[in-house]
Each structure stands twice: as C-alpha cells, then as structure tokens.
C-alpha cells in the first residue's frame, strides 16, 4: 500500500499538550483528516487523545485543523495530499 507523509504543526496549547511543535505522520494514500486525527490519537498519550476527542468520538469543539493554500478549517472527510502541512490548534475566544 502506498503512503503519504503529512506534517502536523502544533500551535498554542496544542503544542503544549502534544509536547512538540511539529511532526511528520505517515498515512495511507487515500487518508482523510479523520485518519490523521486518529493516528495522532494513537501515537500520543491517552490524555492527548482525550484533549482531541470527546468521549463519544467527536472532535472537541475547540480544536481547529487548518491547512491548504488559503489556511481554512478542513472538513473531517477531506482527503490529504503527500507533503501537506496541517496546523492543529485551540480556538481562542473572549476579549
């Protein structure tokens, strides 16, 4: 099976929780954003998995997964491309 490599850059609190600023993750050729998040859940501590996901398996509402040329929020079912860089961070609110 062919693989792709995606670079994940962790920003703000996500960097603290992951314990690093970026990493390369290898995935299957047709991997989607959901597959990437699932892989992150398995390569990090259980606490990091709980930080990313609710108990029902849904992504936490404060997590943002951004990528692409226009740096937009990526849908969970979007197919990733080899060499792509994804930014994972916590949305801030308040003023």
Which uninterrupted H or E stretch holds 37? Answer: helix 33-43
Q: Quick one: average pLDDT of 82-86?
A: 96
Instruction: Determine the pLDDT at residue 92.
Output: 72
Please give the Cα distance from 88 to 6 (Å, whole number).
12
- What does the pLDDT look like over 35-76, one tens digit per residue? 999 999 999 999 999 999 999 999 999 999 999 777 789 999
Task: Tell me the whole-structure pTM to 2 decimals.
Answer: 0.89
Q: Quick one: average pLDDT of 23-39?
A: 96
Which uninterrupted H or E stretch holds 23? Answer: strand 22-28
């Amino acid at each position: 099976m062919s693989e792709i490599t995606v670079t994940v850059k962790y920003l703000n609190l996500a960097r603290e929780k992951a314990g690093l600023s970026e990493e390369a993750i290898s995935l299957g050729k047709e991997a989607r954003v959901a597959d990437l998040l699932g892989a992150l859940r398995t390569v990090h501590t259980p606490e990091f998995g709980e930080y990313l996901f609710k108990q029902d398996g849904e992504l936490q509402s404060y997590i943002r997964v951004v990528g692409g040329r226009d740096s937009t929020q990526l849908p969970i079912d979007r197919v990733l491309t080899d060499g792509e860089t994804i930014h994972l961070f916590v949305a801030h609110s308040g003023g």
